[in-house]
């Protein structure tokens, strides 16, 4: 029997690299996972343990409707992992308003929409929220003002939620991955990858499974960890 038997988790971006790994870890612990995805998952996962909703998390009405449906079907929500995220990199003087707005709306406002729609159910069950931020949200990065701002905003959201809901035994933490082997990092030019590797003391990118195990630890074992940002970057110097 898994340690999350009977629990229900919503994972946004569950069809992507990190989200897919988190989904697998949770299911191995007996959790029912609900993926809120922009594009369908290519994985063939047992329908007893995985449900999928295709929606845009920036659409508040769609989010609220889907969350209500989850509660009607499964009876509860215990865990929320705000993992969905996009990048639209550009230097500020070239960055379009659309590039700024779409990244902020997906990465930050989308996470807020999810929290707003689920928090009553999560609080009822003394649940857990994990926000997937980034080391870029802590340190900034050239050409990623929009992404860095969105991920820094997630950290502020995390700390505020932890203070608001800690008294209800809801724990809210953020993780800040560095370079992880995902479809997003695969698109990076080889020169940028090489430069990044030189800054990582372990001289390799992280694996989605390593991030997923950190998330699982925070959900299951981190019972007195609240309002924190856990960096997982292989010892990277920015």
77-115 pLDDT, tens per residue?
A: 999 999 999 999 999 999 999 999 999 999 999 999 999
Ranges of residues in the chain with a pLDDT under 50 are none
Cα-based angle 5, 9, 11 (whole degrees, multiple of 5): 145
Instruction: Please identify which of the residues 50, 53, 97, 147 carries the catalytic annotation.
Output: 147
Catalytic residue at 147?
A: yes
According to the model, what pLDDT value does residue 237 have? 83
Domain limits of the chain?
8-232
Its pTM stands at: 0.95
According to the model, what pLDDT value does residue 184 have? 72
According to the model, what pLDDT value does residue 1 have? 66
Overall fold of domain 8-232: Rossmann fold (3.40.50)
């Amino acid at each position: 029997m898994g340690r999350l038997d009977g629990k229900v988790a919503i994972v946004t971006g569950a069809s992507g690299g990190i989200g897919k790994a988190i989904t697998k870890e949770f299911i191995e612990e007996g959790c029912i996972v609900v993926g809120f995805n922009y594009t369908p998952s290519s994985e063939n996962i047992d329908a007893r343990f995985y449900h999928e909703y295709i929606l845009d998390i920036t659409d508040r009405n769609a989010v609220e409707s889907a969350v209500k449906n989850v509660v009607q079907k499964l009876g509860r929500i215990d865990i929320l992992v705000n993992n969905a995220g996009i990048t639209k990199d550009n230097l500020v003087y070239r960055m379009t308003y659309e590039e700024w707005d779409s990244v902020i709306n997906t990465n930050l406002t989308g996470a807020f929409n999810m929290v707003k729609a689920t928090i009553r159910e999560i609080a009822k069950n003394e649940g857990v929220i994990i926000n997937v931020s980034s080391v870029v949200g802590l340190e900034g990065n050239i050409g990623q003002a929009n992404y860095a701002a969105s991920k820094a905003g997630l950290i502020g959201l995390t700390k505020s939620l932890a203070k608001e809901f800690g008294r209800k035994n809801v724990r809210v933490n953020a993780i800040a991955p560095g370079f992880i082997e995902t479809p997003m990092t695969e698109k990076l030019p080889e020169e940028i990858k090489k430069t990044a590797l030189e800054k990582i003391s372990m001289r390799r990118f992280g694996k989605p499974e390593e991030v997923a195990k950190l998330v699982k630890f925070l959900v299951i074992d981190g019972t007195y960890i609240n309002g924190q940002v856990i960096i997982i970057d292989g010892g990277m110097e920015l």
